[in-house]
Amino acid sequence: MKHVLMAYYSHAGHTARIARTIQQAIVEEGHVCDMMEMMECVREGVDWSRYNIVIVGSPIVYGVYNKVVWEFVEKFRAELDALPNSFFNVTVVARTPLKATPEGNRYLQAFIKRSPWKPRDLKCFAGKVDYPHWTWYQRLMIQLIMRITDGPTDPSVIVDYTDYEDVKDYARHCLLLDKFQRRR
């Protein structure tokens, strides 16, 4: 039985939902998966000796990763490098096939360039447009982005672009990381 750490940051709850889907898929496969919010990890610490695999996930909000993501990867770089690992991001731009790949997702490429931790496995998930639950400013910013990228601009629209079967497949994929990634 494998023991997986699912460390995540969630801005508005959607990445947390994806993380829970990953956790549930891992548990359904007969393994253990602990979810920890990155702020909890940074402030409270992590008992890394409990884990065989680590999955890290974060949304892109207005084109950037939250500062806690950077704190997390800087503080735990050695621990992350010592385990089979994967990193995923969540962004609405990944609703198009090219931008849903690690190579075609500029936010993931920017993460790799800036991050002191170099994940060994990468994944992009399409996010969610949730106009009714955003502030007027958030709605305006996303509508501007959606106009540029031919996405929905109706302020009453909620569109979840996430493919949850793909999320479950990714979870099962992550269970095999220890077979392909050796500890350093």
Residue 110, pLDDT > 90, answer: yes
User: Which tens digits make up the pLDDT trace of 23-72?
Assistant: 999 999 999 999 999 999 999 999 999 999 999 999 999 889 999 999 99
Asked if residues 121 and 80 have their Cβ atoms less than 8 Å apart, the reply is no
pLDDT at 116: 96
Residues in a beta bridge with 6: 35, 55
User: Which tens digits make up the pLDDT trace of 130-153?
Assistant: 999 989 998 998 899 889 888 999
d(CA 146, CA 65): 19
Residue 170, pLDDT > 60, answer: yes
| The pTM of the whole model exceeds 0.85 | yes
Domains defined for the chain, CATH in brackets? 3-127+162-180 (3.40.50.360), 128-161 (no CATH)
Kindly state the tokens that stand for 122.
């990468």
d(CA 162, CA 179): 27
Handedness of CA 79, 174, 114, 127 (dihedral sign): negative
DSSP secondary-structure letter at 161? -
**Which residue carries 């096939």 as its tokens?**
97
pLDDT at 180: 73
Handedness of CA 112, 115, 120, 121 (dihedral sign): negative
